[in-house]
Chain A
């Protein structure tokens, strides 16, 4: 593979031909600001925040879509670049609600982070603002297109990650919007509620509805775990605040699935807090369940299993273990059946 030498911020960099300036910079730890760029999606070059100065080029090219050439000299942080980025951010916030103090995405909002970095408090550009109705007609995703910066990440995620092709662009210019076919609410569209659009959205335009009002992003503890539904084995983070799960957040470094999940994995976790959860042992007396202490339950089980084994022999017992439970729990159940009850009558729903 042909290697090309370039200079970025005075640093010599050698990268394969065809590499973009942004990826070349990434490879030596120089971080160029970006909104529409996502390493898992096709490059779009829409937001222009990643502009850089290239020696000999009068224009400021977008580094996410500009390939390197031999001897290229790049400055990622020149006064012209900084000025351009500031202007781009001012243009973006000119038509973006500045309600960051109550926006649930703050802390995980790239737009806010860059405005902070470049000192953009408000926009000198005053003009018409969008007044889109908020789409909250489904239980999972809150869609506020007033906060959309048209980076197109949701459109690309829907097409390139999930392959659902439910999102595209409507209209031109000021009226352009990233939306469903016919501009209907998600619930009335072909949306499968995988939530990939939420996972890639850099602003508050798309949010996990269950997390709204539940906590600031920096208060959330993320606990990496494995999905409890199908056998694909997706990983995700449980979002925990004050000992309570408030949502599921996907993660690019999950081995099997990266940031992709399905409606069950991303939004089906709330069965955990269903009020029908059992919290105490139950013992059936005269055909009715009565609440019991753990001690009572354990003693009764030990007594009855013991009696039945003594009376009818070890073959009179059988155990159903569970394909939904952990390896460790399954190990214990088969060990119990074999070592204590004395038979191999242990099975689980692999066959049924």
Chain B
């Protein structure tokens, strides 16, 4: 996030939500949005589903799935036509504006209504509201990124914020509310194929040299494989061995049959996990992992806030995860002799300028720190891009409409979209007996009109089939979803929804198009 969660409560005059069901996927952030809306902060919700926050919203833009770019372009079209753009910000802080203008010229409101289903007058209202509200924050999550055009969706939102000068202050910005507890931190730590910790590019000679000196080994400068490419390479036979820590791609990655095939093809697989998961079943060696309550360390939340994780009980398998990894690596002839996670952090921070000012003593004293925090007297950074962007000028990157990779047709007439529900978190909470005693199975959402046509009611079971797989699910009949759409979560191993999801990926990030694919439904 460019900005901080607290600004929802203290600064925002308008929240523009697109593709985020915040009260379910990020409940506490969602509570704050509700509180803000009730104190008079305007709320715009763009979502094909009737999510809870729709009931608090001033405007609900129920776009057809996969039409976010035309929607955002349409808003920018109106803003420019009405002269509501921030000319000073565009002039001083950005480049490539003419290209943006030329692209969005082609998205007049009538055309956008046709593509998105959002009425022209609503487009005008929301465009004017966003452009003329001084402190307007954009929030998005996977409803924006889990599309074939996910990166382009994000760029379009950045275009919208820059066009109206909503950057570099409190109460503005582009705020992706990140999914997992430490997805921000895993990226920050360089668990990515192209960067070291602090986003230092592996291909840069100076960076390579720095890490060779620090770690005493020659460093690879070829960009590595992204997850989907890893499984592709396993299929092809170029990747032979894998180590997987605390992830269950068989349930969580799209098109899971393909993942299973990749895992099967490996010569050697090590999985470090809490449970014998669907992924761990493929392993040659399974190392038992310790839970968050059994390890010291840190997580970094969606607003770049580093916070402590503290060991409350002894590790159930007898070793904390960092100890297991260190021992495994040491046996391979590369001794890792850390005394504690604090030492690991200190080494990491000494190599990552943006986090160099964060250490355990400061976290103990202050509770948390938001990077960038370059020195130990730096207070941390609540909001970013003040005065200038990381790259200097903000680059407008206009996009045209990119339809989803697979849309319903005669054979597969329903559109499947997926996401999280309030009561579960990915594939960990199904191991909570308390939670499972109440919310124990998938309840796919189906519109009453479709249910009537099919002669099914809440609690009935359907077989859902896509070109890639089939699952059985119970349904809940609800107008939260539009006719022609079935919506499912992916939490339950008995209904592994990702057996169905699309094989289409965003070409830049490799993110799967979880939000749109075509399925057929059969009553069973």
A residues lining the B interface (CB < 8 Å): 138-140, 160-163, 187, 192-194, 210, 223-235, 238, 240, 243-245, 253, 255-257, 260-265, 267-272, 274, 276-284, 289, 292, 294, 297-302, 304-306, 308-309, 312, 314-340, 342-352
Contact = CB atoms under 8 A, between A and B. Distances in A.
A235 B83 CA distance: 45
Nearest to A161: B31
B322 A329 contact: yes
Contact of B434 (A139, A301, A329): A139
B117 to A, nearest CB: 28
A282 B328 contact: no
A230 B425 contact: yes
Nearest to A162: B31
Contact of A325 (B223, B225, B245, B347): B245
A226 B307 contact: yes
B314 interface: yes
Given A240-B312, A281-B286, A317-B240, A331 B189 contact: yes
Contact of A225 (B217, B254, B293, B368): B293
Contact of A276 (B275, B336, B368): B275
A243 B284 contact: no
12 contacts: A161-B31, A232-B27, A233-B302, A278-B317, A282-B286, A301-B332, A302-B331, A317-B243, A323-B247, A342-B220, A347-B226, A352-B249
A163 B291 CA distance: 31
B29 interface: yes
A347 B28 contact: no
A232 B26 contact: yes
Interface stretch (B43-51, B122-130, B175-183): B175-183
Contact of B511 (A278, A344, A352): A352
Contacts of B34: 162-163
Contacts of B183: 231, 323, 348-350
Given A280-B288, A315-B238, A263 B435 contact: yes
A238 to B, nearest CB: 4
Contacts of B222: 343-344
B364 to A, nearest CB: 10
B293 to A, nearest CB: 6
A328 B317 contact: no
Contact of B215 (A194, A257, A338): A338
Contact of B238 (A162, A255, A263, A316): A316
B253 interface: yes
B273 A278 contact: yes
Contacts of B192: 334, 346-348, 350
A231 B184 contact: yes
Interface stretch (B154-162, B227-235, B403-411): B227-235
B285 A284 contact: yes
B494 to A, nearest CB: 15
The residue in B202, B275, B287 that gathers the most chain A C-beta atoms within 10 A of its C-beta is B287
A89 to B, nearest CB: 33
B312 A325 contact: no
A235 B332 CA distance: 37
Interface in B306-320: 306-314, 316-319
> Top 4 nearest A-B pairs by Cβ distance?
A233-B301, A326-B297, A344-B224, A163-B34
Contacts of A139: 433-435, 437-438
Given A281-B288, A297-B287, A330-B191, A271 B428 contact: yes
A271 to B, nearest CB: 4
A121 B147 CA distance: 65
Interface in B14-72: 25-29, 31, 34-35, 38, 56
Contacts of A253: 367
Contacts of A256: 5-6, 28, 301, 303, 305, 368
A305 B336 contact: no
B481 interface: no
A230 B27 CA distance: 9
Given A232-B5, A345-B224, 6 more contacts: A255-B368, A304-B241, A317-B240, A323-B247, A328-B322, A349-B249
B313 A243 contact: yes
Contacts of B185: 323, 326-327, 330
B412 interface: no
Contacts of B319: 294
Given A140-B434, A305-B268, A352 B348 contact: no
B108 interface: no
A44 to B, nearest CB: 18
B438 A232 contact: no
B297 A320 contact: no
Contact of B325 (A232, A289, A332): A332
Given A279-B317, A326-B295, A331-B197, A346 B224 contact: yes
A351 B231 CA distance: 14
Contacts of B181: 226-231, 233, 323-324
A23 to B, nearest CB: 20
Question: Looking at A160, A232, A317, which has the most chain B CB atoms within 10 Å of its CB?
Answer: A232
A225 B247 contact: no
A300 B194 contact: no
A183 to B, nearest CB: 20
B84 interface: no
Given A225-B292, A262-B27, A278-B317, A330 B308 contact: no
B218 interface: yes
Contact of A264 (B215, B230, B423, B512): B423
B220 A270 contact: no
A283 B285 contact: yes
A257 B9 CA distance: 11
B180 A342 contact: no
A211 B72 CA distance: 49
A261 B28 contact: yes
A87 to B, nearest CB: 37
B434 A322 contact: no
Contacts of A284: 283-285
Contacts of B291: 228, 271-272
Contacts of A339: 215-217, 219, 334
Contact of A274 (B202, B244, B267, B275): B275
B75 interface: no
A26 to B, nearest CB: 22
B274 A277 contact: yes
Contact of B299 (A187, A240, A327, A351): A327
Contacts of A345: 193, 224-225, 230, 239
Given A139-B437, A271-B431, A320 B242 contact: yes
Interface string B317-348: 11101100111110111101000010011011
B10 interface: no
B313 A228 contact: no
Given A139-B434, A340-B334, A346 B193 contact: yes
A336 B239 contact: no
B249 A231 contact: no
Contacts of A228: 181, 291-292, 299, 428
A298 B6 CA distance: 45
A169 to B, nearest CB: 20
A274 B5 contact: no
B492 interface: no
A226 B247 contact: no
